[in-house]
Every structure is written in C-alpha cells, then in structure tokens.
Amino acid sequence: MKVCLLAGGVGGARMAQGLAQVLAPRHLTVLVNVGDDEDFHGLRVCPDIDTVLYTLSGQINREQGWGVAGDTQKALSVLKRLEAADSWMSLGDTDLGLHLYRTQQLLAGSSLSTVTDRIRRSFGIGAAVLPITDEPLATRIVTQDGQTLRFQQWFVRERARLKVARIDFAGRAALSEAAERAIKQADLLLFAPSNPWLSIAPMLAVQGVAALIEQSHADKIAISPLIGGKAIKGPLNPLMQDLHCRAGNAGIADFYAGLADILVIDPIDQADCAHIEALGLDPWPLPTRIGEVQQSAQLAQSLLERLER
Ligand code: GDP
Ligand code: FO1
Ligand code: CA
C-alpha cells in the first residue's frame, strides 16, 4: 500500500518515523509544510522539513522537537554579540551547516525538492521527503492587536503569546510535480497529528492540493493532535480558542470534514465520537500517543491492518 503523509514538524515527523518502521521505503512519501520557512542571516531555514529529516535520521533533539541533538551555538553567540537581526532564532552550529548547503544549492538553481532529496539521501533516509511546493508560501499571523507577523516572529520571537485574529498564506505557490505524483499514486492519504491550522492548512493553500485530495480515491485518514482535549506540544489549544473553533476533537473534525473520511482519536476521547459522526467522519479510537517510535509504529501498523480488513 502506497502511503502519502501530509506532515508539519513534530507531529508529522513522529508519524513519519512510525510509518518508516512498517512500510518499504518506496511505499512512503512524506509531504511537508513550507509555510514556516524563512531566511535568517541570508540563509534559507525550513523548520518542518528539517524536523522530519532530523527525526527520520535519528539526529533530532528530542526534548526540543527541533534542531540537532547535542548541537552547540557558537556561531549564534557571535551573531548575538554583533546584534545581528533576528538572532532570537536559535540556529545551532550543526544545523547552520545544513542551511548553508541548502541556500547555496538553491542559489545555484536547484529546486527545494531536489536539495531536500540530496539531504535525505546523505542522511540515509529511505522514504521520500518532499516539500509540498518548490515556491515560497509564507504563513503570516495577523494578531488581534493588529500586527502582521512572519510565522517565526510570532512563534519564536513572541513565543506564540499574541492572540491570533487570522492566518494568511502569502504567495501563489503551485504544487511540485513530485508532490502531485505522490498524491495521485497514494492508496492512503494520511494527515499526521500536526497542527491543522498551522501545518496542514498551508499545504491545502497550495494551488491544486485540495482539489487533488478531493478527487483521490485513496483512503483518507486524519489523526487528531489532541489527547484528552489537549495538544501534546505547541499553541494549538489557545489558537483554536482565538479562531473561535469548537474545543477538542469536535473542532478538529470541523477542520477535516469533507477532506478526510476517518478521524483517528485517542481512546480516552471516545466521548467525542458522536460529534465526529455527526460531521460524516468515521471515528477510529486507537492509541495516538506517538512520542516513542514503538508507539508510532504500532499506530501505523494498526491503521494499515484496519484498512486491509
Ligand atoms: P510543528 O510544525 O513542529 O508545530 O509540528 P506539527 O504541526 O507537525 O505537530 C504539532 C502537533 O503535534 C501538536 O498540536 C501536538 O499536539 C501534536 N503531537 C505531538 N506529539 C503527539 C503525539 O504523540 N500524539 C498526538 N496525537 N499528537 C502529537
Ligand atoms: N523554535 C523555538 O521555539 N525557538 C527557536 O529558537 C527555534 C529555532 C529553530 C531553528 C531551526 C529549526 O529548524 C527550528 C527552530 N525552531 C525553534 C522550531 C520552529 O520555530 C518551528 O517552526 C516550530 O516548531 C513550529 O513548527
Ligand atoms: Ca510547523
């Protein structure tokens, strides 16, 4: 079975890691959000792509959920001493090597898909990892106090504390050819337990993606990022409040209604099944805590077995 995973950073990477344990590499493609991507010190930084690559290659700093384990910050300390712009973004020394390479390759004319694939291969990752688009598509946060911030300004500099009025996606990015192929060839389109509004929505904003998913005859499964109504990590709960979403899995189901057929929720949230069914989605209660690779592999295995029944 060919699986195409739509992924943001941490939640996406954790699900990708489990799938990689149970699928042959040629049967797994991870399509990754690029709305978080920004330039720092002239270098292209792609946090969600890098979180997926570092996780699949075992280099991730597991406590942080981003960056390389054991990385140092000598270069950053120089930038800070020089009061360089945007040095609130903690770029580690090892991580900077990746940004240098990517930026040089992009400037030399390679697409983001091509560069990402070169890095994937050198990291020894078998599954395909692809940006959803090769063109810039920047998530912009419009705050309730009237500012328009770049995603990382809001998330890192402001620690996601400013209330959100609206999320915009700047640019008219087109789906990459490789991503289009992956969606068309998929037997299962799987939405990782990523943040729907910050990681999945920017991918759906890429021209053609929503229509291709709608036309696809693949099974379409979304995994809820909430357990017991709470996100494991990140600003999802306050964001849902700011955007006037229904709380808990009802709000997640509202997002995925019409897009997915099945919503996987943790068994502790079984009481949400009625809300989910009311929207025409089939609720599948399965353990969704996937912080350990065995847990993620178990979830992947359960999904595949249940589909094959
Ligand atoms: P980001 O781009 O790094 O913010 O990561 P994603 O958007 O891919 O994922 C963020 C979401 O992952 C958060 O809303 C978390 O609740 C969710 N998440 C993280 N770990 C787990 C887990 O073990 N299980 C589930 N169900 N969700 C998780
Ligand atoms: N997240 C932070 O909260 N603080 C940081 O200083 C930070 C630096 C950073 C550097 C490289 C990278 O790939 C990711 C980094 N992140 C940092 C995470 C990044 O903001 C992600 O976009 C978020 O995890 C949301 O997806
Ligand atoms: Ca992200």
Nearest bound ligand to CA 155? Answer: 2
Do 49 and 105 meet the contact criterion of CB atoms below 8 Å apart?
no
pLDDT value, residue 171: 86
Average pLDDT for 23-45: 98
pLDDT value, residue 220: 98
- Distance in angstroms (rounded) separating the CA atoms of residues 90 and 77: 10
pLDDT value, residue 85: 97
Nearest bound ligand to CA 7? Answer: 1
Do 149 and 168 meet the contact criterion of CB atoms below 8 Å apart?
no
Dmax over Cα atoms in the chain, in whole Å? Answer: 61
Nearest protein Cα to ligand 1, atom 4: 9
Q: Give 309 Cα–ligand 3 centroid separation in angstroms.
A: 34
Q: Give 221 Cα–ligand 3 centroid separation in angstroms.
A: 20
Residues forming beta bridges with residue 143, ordered by sequence position: 164
Give the N- to C-terminal CA distance of the chain in Å, as an integer: 13
Residues forming beta bridges with residue 138, ordered by sequence position: 170
Ligand 1 in reach of 288 Cβ (< 6 A)? yes
The tens digit of pLDDT for each residue in 159-168 reads 999 999 999 9
pLDDT value, residue 133: 98
Do 35 and 76 meet the contact criterion of CB atoms below 8 Å apart?
no
pLDDT value, residue 309: 84
| Nearest atom within ligand 1 for CA of residue 290 | 23
Q: What are the pocket residues of ligand 2 if the criterion is a CB atom closer than 6 Å to any ligand atom?
A: 8-9, 36, 45, 47-48, 50, 66-67, 89-91, 95, 152, 155-156
The tens digit of pLDDT for each residue in 199-252 reads 999 999 999 999 999 999 999 999 999 999 999 999 999 999 999 999 999 999
pLDDT above 70 covers what percent of the chain?
Answer: 100
Give the count of beta carbons closer than 10 Å to the beta carbon of residue 209.
22
pTM higher than 0.95: yes
The tens digit of pLDDT for each residue in 166-196 reads 999 988 899 999 999 999 999 999 999 999 9
pLDDT value, residue 135: 95
ipTM of the complex as predicted = 0.99
Long-range Cβ pairs for the range 241-246 (8 Å, 24+): 242/144, 242/163, 242/164, 242/165, 243/164, 243/167, 243/197, 246/275
| Nearest atom within ligand 1 for CA of residue 233 | 15
pLDDT above 90 covers what percent of the chain?
Answer: 98
3 state DSSP class of 297: helix
pLDDT value, residue 172: 85
pLDDT value, residue 241: 98
Do 32 and 52 meet the contact criterion of CB atoms below 8 Å apart?
yes
